[in-house]
Amino acid sequence: MENSLQLTNIRSLLSDSVNSLIIVSRPVDPDCIGTARALRWLLEAQKKNGSIVCFFSIPPFMTEFPGMAEVVVAQPESFDFTGYDLFITVDGSSWGQFLGDDGDMVLKKIPLQRIAAIDHHEPGDIAQAIPDRCLRVKSSSTAQVLYEHFIEPSGLIPPVPIANCLYRALLYDTRGFKNEAYPGAYRFAEALIRLGADHAAAVDVNYDMREVQYLAWAIEHTEFIAELGLMLLVIDARHAVELEALLGKDFLEFDTIYKETIQRQVVGYNYGILLTDKLEGAVRLNWRTRGQGATLAIADIARRAGFDAGGHRNAGGGKFTGTIAEARTRLINQLRQALR
């Protein structure tokens, strides 16, 4: 059975633990938070202690997510990791998604043998570092992985608030079942509805007005490169000043509508790429790829261009060390070569 070793090892660690720290990933979204809350409930139902920490800011659209008060927001460099006997990363494949850009330094504070990972993305450096304790299942969401491999086998019945968290996680990561379908997704949804998940509340999503303002700005500044089927938005230092004046310092948190309604929804354009200058020689990459047709894997192209990239095949992110002009040139050149 695939993943049987990892599953056995993680279950053993959970059984032996007393105080677990659940670390959620960036981007902070319903899947990582919903999974973390459900895992904390499971631990407490088994008379164990579980805490949830996030080392990144909470995006505006997540502030009203059920149970956000359970999540401690902290800086990894100053966080006190002592007192925990198990560290569990949920919903991410790279250390940087959990510990930030200085993840290697933070890892020195945590015993590697006491770290476990639960995820559904393409493998990254976490799977390389702890292959026997990284449960990675191709699934609709990390919430489904947790439910099928830990909650359901336990025989414990999640209360309605936890069922709601898991249901919102499922809907978000499947984009309302529009993304690639994986076995068990509808069975999982049906089980959560039976447990009391409120579908009407889960789909009643409202966005901050700044999401709309970002969308309008982004559409105006998107390059449509027809011969590559590419929609490219480059946010350089000058654009960052514009967006900060328009939306505030956290302007990067307002790109949700743009990414989901523009990046892979325009006829004739299979790829949507967003490059953001993080300054100090770092560039952030996000992409969306059309789910049907003979599309290329942007993660592979990005890695050939010098990016550290990961995530799903049709949606992911990464970073590049260098200037944003260099990042743009390398990425376009690699995409052009691949399309040939």
Q: Does pLDDT of 317 surpass 90?
A: no
Which pLDDT score, from 0 to 100, does residue 181 have?
Answer: 78
Question: Of residues 114 and 206, which shows the higher confidence score?
Answer: 114
Which pLDDT score, from 0 to 100, does residue 1 have?
Answer: 56
Token digits for 219?
């559409």
Which pLDDT score, from 0 to 100, does residue 265 have?
Answer: 85
Question: Of residues 326 and 122, which shows the higher confidence score?
Answer: 326
Residue 117 backbone zone (phi > 0: left; psi -120 to 50: alpha; other: beta): beta
pLDDT in tens, 235-274: 999 999 999 999 998 898 899 889 888 888 899 999 999 9
Which pLDDT score, from 0 to 100, does residue 240 have?
Answer: 94
CA distances from 265 to 77, 145, 220, 286, 292 (A): 40, 28, 16, 16, 12
Residue for token digits 């004046």? 245
How does DSSP assign 91-123, residue by residue? S-SSHHHHH-TTHHHHHTTS-GGGEEEEE-S--
CATH code of the region 209-339? 3.10.310.30
Taking the domains of the chain in order of start, what are their residue ranges? 4-203, 209-339
Token digits for 177?
């079942």
Calculate the average pLDDT of the chain. Answer: 92
**61 residue type, one letter:** F
pLDDT in tens, 10-25: 999 999 999 999 999 9
pLDDT in tens, 160-178: 999 999 999 999 999 888 8
Which CATH homologous superfamily contains domain 4-203?
A: inorganic pyrophosphatase (n-terminal core) (3.90.1640.10)
Query: Are the CB atoms for 275 and 285 separated by under 8 Å?
Result: yes
In three-state secondary structure terms, 198 is coil
Model confidence at 60, pLDDT cuts 50, 70, 90, reads confident
Q: Does pLDDT of 95 surpass 70?
A: yes
Count CB-CB contacts under 10 A for residue 90: 27
How does DSSP assign 250-291, residue by residue? TGGGG-HHHHHHTTT-STT--EEEEEEEEETTEEEEEEEE-S
Which pLDDT score, from 0 to 100, does residue 242 have?
Answer: 95
Model confidence at 103, pLDDT cuts 50, 70, 90, reads confident
pLDDT in tens, 206-229: 888 999 999 999 999 999 999 999
